[in-house]
Structure 1
Amino acid sequence: MCEYMDYYDKEILINVGMNETRVALVENGKLVEMHIERPENQRTIGNIYAGFVENILPGINSAFVDIGERLNGFIHLDEFVKNLIPEDYIIGDYEFTDINEEIKELEKSSKRRNISIGDKVLVQVVKEQINTKGPRITSQVTIPGRYVVLMPNYHGVRISKKISKPNERKRLRKLITGLIPDDFGIIVRTAAENKDSDMFVKDIISTYQIWKDAIAEFKKTESPKLLYKDYNVSASIVRDLFNDDVKRVLVDSNELYNSISDYVRNLAPDLLDRVELYNDDEPIFDKFYNINKDFLISLSREVFMRRGGSIVIEQTEAMVSIDVNSKKYSKNKPQEENSLTINLHAAREVARQLRLRDVGGLVVIDFIDMMEQSNRDKVYNELRSSFRRDKAKISIEPVSRFGLVEMTRQRLKPSIVQTVYDRCPTCGGKGIVRSKETISGMIDRWIKNFKYAMNGQEVDLLVNEKLAEFLNSDDKNFITASMLKHWVRINLIIDNSINEHSFRFCYPGTSEEVKFEQKEYN
């Protein structure tokens, strides 16, 4: 059993359960990201498919492609480029260029490929399906490895901006240029810094083989098909995030530990001693950094800050709204200074919570009002700074005179809340339900319509027992009053399969629901 240190700057902890795998990223002793994968919602970003164009919508410059999944993929027409798959890729005629040769320049083309309904196309998922929206796909396929990203039908070398030293960028560009396959481009990833050519050769051969196998399958298939499945959540995080900045990867599954060790031994042997197996009896997310506790907080509506104040996070259809509250925070300082202090703490917590919850789309933050422009600028700069380690694309507008900040965060997959929770069947996700008084009024109007439209004489009313108690209470006596008012016999029947905020009307003695055209009853 390994010895566990109390503190690391950056760690990856992986918990494998019976029906889910959870991956936690910890920075400076705090949980900042949580990734969850289950059999029913496996990761599809990076998957390559043979798809068939099912619908073309010129009005929105888009197409829907059947890729064999539950929902069709969505793609912009501009992404279908001419000569999507050059003939030499399909034939498989390829040899690596000599290390001293220069990269072959491709003929650039901005012409869009004309597609028709029924065309077979090669596409890759770049954004997970969310609710009823299908996955976002592209025809500009990329194959990620540990050190490079292979880009078919591109040319040239791009180097990660996080590799900042000019001499290292120059060395990598020269090294990679001699290794690039013909008619491919390369993105050099951050993990490539200070690595030698042997590591790149392995990575390029591996990613090229993935592409070659996908093309071979694409040629043969005559129906929608998954050609290449990218790594699962835990493996992709190790591939994409495990670098010199990560002090250790701690895994509580022997099988996954062996799998990760084999991968690291092959492509990053210098990091192998940082991969550790956790086999204590205490759950891994309880033992380290209060991960389970912080995760549960990330699912709550209100988050209390350690030094006072709170933030309230509300998800709506159009946006996420965040309200900063001072609560009982009070110091012997001017109000402006107190407001600034709370807002600075809130800016850091907002950045952490959005990253941890993996919230995407439009976000509006209502900070506590501040009179001085210099203080609004401080909060804006603190918010920007707090997002610097977030890999999602972020765009932030300055604080307005009303104390509001508008920002967007890239959304690639469902948020943690969407992954963990189902929509409430009672309220439909609204968070509110009709009052019993409102329901009794709706029942009364239904009976009136029933009498008018069908000349009904008798009907069964099925309700939950809690609603029945309300309708039959002494002060209400609703059923008797309604029968006398409309001259309709109402048989009240208890059915606890119906929630207490709904009701059903059936023909007497049957389960057949009474239906007729009506303007309102639900």
Structure 2
Amino acid sequence: MTSEVIVDVRPKEISIALLEDKRLVEYQQEGREAHFSVGNIYLAKVKKIMPGLNACFVNVGYERDAFLHYLDLGIRYRSLDKYMSLLGDGRKDASITKALGQGDLEKEGSVQNVVKQGQEVLVQIQKEPMSTKGPRVSCDISFPGRFLVLIPFSDKISVSSKIRSSQERARLKQLIHSIKPKGFGVIIRTVAEGKRASELDLEIKILYQRWEETISKVRKARQAQKKIEAEAKSPQQALQNYRPTLCYEETSRAVALLRDLFNPSYENIYINDKEVFNDIRAYVSMIAPTRLDIVKLYQGNVPIFDNFSVTRQIKSSFGRTVTYKHGAYLIIEHTEALHVIDVNSGNRSRSPEGQEVNALDVNLGAADELARQLRLRDMGGIIVVDFIDMAQPENRQKLYERMVENMKSDRARHNILPLSKFGLMQITRQRVRPVEEPNVEETCPTCGGTGKIKPSILFTDLLEGKIRQLSQQLHFKRIRLHVHPYVAAYLDKGFISLKRKWQFKYKTSIQLTPNEGLAYLQYQFYNDKGEEIDMRGVKEMA
């Protein structure tokens, strides 16, 4: 099986598609303008104690202060507090081992007995700010990697419960115990199963280096803070003038999206943006330096998703109705409580061997497509599938085994029950990320959904008018025009095509690009740097 990752970087969003044997099996999309801070570590000050909530509010630089509950201080808080006091004394020999042995924090304690107003704490953001609430933070610091999670002030080594082999669990524990730094605990993730000592040792060194860089920033921030406190006229003014310090920032969005998805067995990773290409290349060089050649910069004129047939698969794989082999199809409905999927044979011809064989064939195909859809849409919670009824128990068992086999490649935790007597299969599945449900229906860009448009034969006149504006009014000498593939074929047909006529007439180089992501009469103009030209605010020439 061949696996490839396609990364489409656009001005407003980043999309990542995972292809297995050229088929789309996972799809993730996130906005570039959104600010993601989960995982960031701040040196911050306690601004207000709330005994009634057994919590405090911490200034981490957001509009609203972060919420820190007593239980989020973590059982290792006393060691962290001791280490922070050693750093505050300016001791260059302050090491994490000298802060160990402070005892665990009591579960039933009170926050006002542990932290004080104006105290500096090292916190990590656990939850993004939402609506009127600020972010939620924790003092239980951790550094996640591909194979391991490094946890300061702990000596415990934990192994993912998904690693079932007792021999492999013992091997990993013994291996990590021999290479981990003193005073640090480690969580061994599922993907570490079967990995060599050199791979795990390299990641521990990378994660430990992040800890060292974080503490280096804490030292500098504390020195700067001492100057501010010395210049302040009162403790209240010092607290008011305090500026929290970002000591560790999570990786870029593209790398964060790829981190849990990445597998060194991938044959290619294509990226259409130079900056993101460098970020991903640097990340792969750290975790799999021998596979650096799989990261490739895509520089084709055709949109990257169109070139690898991803756009077409997105259009056909999402929506209420999904067709698979021989005309059979799935109907997928999402409710508040669960997801319901109905299997239909459609207009496929009946098998000469009878209805039972026909039903089994349709159901097995549905099981293949369903396993793909669960990963593609990340359908979490309860999923109920209504398969076509089958009378023979061995066929029902065969369908159940096929579904179990298909779901082995799913990274999310799941549980599958055999078919009930009504032909229903029940599946529970953990949600790995927010549900993906791209809108594949297209609103007419010309009429805006009203159903009334100008004559389509005048569309080329509209395009010519826009090109005239770009050439004579805005003085563009090179432009790129993205249109639907059917329109592109029409504009480029013949030796003296419309495109060629416009180039001669307006003395402007026009690069025509068919784009499957556009509606029939939709168009987009780009400059020679790949930046979209917005024509909405440009008044048409007389």
Moved more, 299-308 or 175-184: 175-184
- Deviation of the 1:14 alpha carbon: 0.9
Q: 2 CA distance for matches of 1:400 and 1:134?
A: 46
What amino acid sits opposite 2:362 in the alignment?
A: I
Alignment of 1:42-441 (within 5 A): 42-48=35-41, 81-84=74-77, 86=79, 87-90=81-84, 91-92=86-87, 95=95, 111-115=107-111, 140-159=140-159, 172-189=172-189, 190=191, 193-196=195-198, 199-209=202-212, 212=215, 228-288=248-308, 290-329=309-348, 330-417=350-437
- TM-score of the pair, normalised by structure 2: 0.61
What amino acid sits opposite 1:208 in the alignment?
A: W
Q: 1 CA distance for matches of 2:371 and 2:134?
A: 28
Cα distance change of structure 1 residues 310 and 420 upon mapping to structure 2, 3 Å threshold: closer
Moved more, 326-335 or 36-45: 36-45
Q: 2 CA distance for matches of 1:421 and 1:56?
A: 50
Q: 1 CA distance for matches of 2:51 and 2:397?
A: 46
Moved more, 83-92 or 72-81: 72-81
Cα RMSD, aligned residues only: 4.5
Q: 2 CA distance for matches of 1:269 and 1:22?
A: 24
Moved more, 72-81 or 229-238: 72-81
Q: 1 CA distance for matches of 2:64 and 2:404?
A: 36
What amino acid sits opposite 2:335 in the alignment?
A: T
Cα distance change of structure 1 residues 381 and 318 upon mapping to structure 2, 3 Å threshold: same
Moved more, 356-365 or 145-154: 145-154
- Deviation of the 1:378 alpha carbon: 2.7
What amino acid sits opposite 1:320 in the alignment?
A: H
Residue in structure 2 matched with residue 27 of structure 1 by the alignment: 20
Secondary structure at the aligned position of 2:356 is classed as: helix
Q: 2 CA distance for matches of 1:56 and 1:376?
A: 59
- TM-score of the pair, normalised by structure 1: 0.63
- Deviation of the 1:254 alpha carbon: 1.9
Cα distance change of structure 1 residues 163 and 319 upon mapping to structure 2, 3 Å threshold: closer
Moved more, 65-74 or 109-118: 65-74
Moved more, 143-152 or 86-95: 86-95
1:150 and 1:207 in contact (8 A); partners too:
no
Q: 2 CA distance for matches of 1:14 and 1:310?
A: 29
Unaligned ranges ≥5, structure 1: 1-7, 98-103, 425-522
For 1:73-119, what per-residue CA distance to the aligned partner results, in whole angstroms no more than 9, with x for missing partners? 9999866644435234424576588xxxxxx9996777355447999
Cα distance change of structure 1 residues 157 and 211 upon mapping to structure 2, 3 Å threshold: farther
For 1:53-83, what per-residue CA distance to the aligned partner results, in whole angstroms no more than 9, with x for missing partners? 999999xx99999987799999998666444
What amino acid sits opposite 2:396 in the alignment?
A: R
Cα distance change of structure 1 residues 201 and 353 upon mapping to structure 2, 3 Å threshold: closer
Unaligned ranges ≥5, structure 2: 88-92, 226-238, 444-542
Q: 1 CA distance for matches of 2:96 and 2:410?
A: 36
1:46 and 1:125 in contact (8 A); partners too:
yes
- Deviation of the 1:314 alpha carbon: 1.3
Alignment match of 1:18 (pick from 1, 11, 24): 11
- Deviation of the 1:271 alpha carbon: 1.2
Cα distance change of structure 1 residues 252 and 371 upon mapping to structure 2, 3 Å threshold: same
Secondary structure at the aligned position of 1:388 is classed as: helix
Q: 2 CA distance for matches of 1:313 and 1:369?
A: 18
- Deviation of the 1:229 alpha carbon: 3.6
What amino acid sits opposite 1:400 in the alignment?
A: S
Counting aligned pairs with the same residue, the percent is 35
Moved more, 407-416 or 221-230: 221-230
2:96 and 2:153 in contact (8 A); partners too:
no
What amino acid sits opposite 2:107 in the alignment?
A: K
Number of residue pairs matched by the alignment: 406
1:82 and 1:113 in contact (8 A); partners too:
no
What amino acid sits opposite 1:376 in the alignment?
A: R
- Deviation of the 1:398 alpha carbon: 2.9
Q: 2 CA distance for matches of 1:57 and 1:310?
A: 56
Cα distance change of structure 1 residues 298 and 217 upon mapping to structure 2, 3 Å threshold: farther
Secondary structure at the aligned position of 1:230 is classed as: coil
Secondary structure at the aligned position of 1:265 is classed as: helix
Q: 2 CA distance for matches of 1:409 and 1:231?
A: 28
Residue in structure 2 matched with residue 467 of structure 1 by the alignment: none
